[in-house]
Amino acid sequence: MSQDHPTNGHEHAHGDDHGHDHSELGEMDLRVRALESVLTQKGYIDPAALDALIDTYQTRIGPRNGARVVARAWVDPAFREWLLADATAAIASLGYTGRQGEHMVAVENTDELHHMVVCTLCSCYPWPVLGLPPTWYKSAPYRSRVVKDPRGVLADFGVTLPDSTRIRVWDSTAEVRYLVIPQRPPGTGDLGEDELAALVSRDSMIGTRLVEAPAEQGSPA
């Protein structure tokens, strides 16, 4: 169960128990790194190829799934209501399921309320819809500062919200993970679902960026 903790002009929703080890670098991580070093030395794996594979999953495949969820919610009011009521089932209906996405909650940004997501104790993250978490999401500075100074963190990402907009920070846990449904940008009423999905970034689904309308094409010379 999440609880709201208003602090310094914003609200912080925090899970009661992550249910796993919270060390910066766990025993399993150390083992994986050691195994990767051995395999690299023996020539069994190519670190560059491995990095490329991880980057593809982190920046393309994963976030693309979440972007399609958001775009569907923008164009289909019935799906939007389902998503907000039962995100796990709604997301699964599009084929996006798996570990780290067993219990999803969708929160919707509005003019009055802006949502941001963090995992203050480790790096819980919705892999099926966002892929692998970015480095900054796992960093101690983000995990601590976003709770105390969400407006400052948003400013670091180039986002300035009106003073009247409340900010709620959601703390992911081992049991619950969140997906932010960003606001649909104005001037996109004529765009189809695929075109809308292309506008949605990973960071906008964490709440650290806004979705912007596509730049107008210049008229031919």
Catalogue the active-site residues.
119, 122-124
Q: Which residue's structure tokens are 């190519």? A: 46
Please tell me the distance from the alpha carbon of residue 201 to that of residue 212, in angstroms, as a whole number: 10
* Pairing of β 3-7 and β 10-14: antiparallel
Query: E strands along the chain, which residues?
Result: 3-7, 10-14, 104-108, 113-118, 166-171, 177-181
Q: Give the number of other Cβ atoms within 10 Å of residue 20's Cβ.
A: 12
How long, in residues, is the chain? 221
Query: Cα–Cα distances in Å, from 13 out to 134, 154, 168, 198, 210?
Result: 21, 18, 7, 30, 21
Query: Cα–Cα distances in Å, from 94 out to 62, 73, 111?
Result: 13, 12, 28
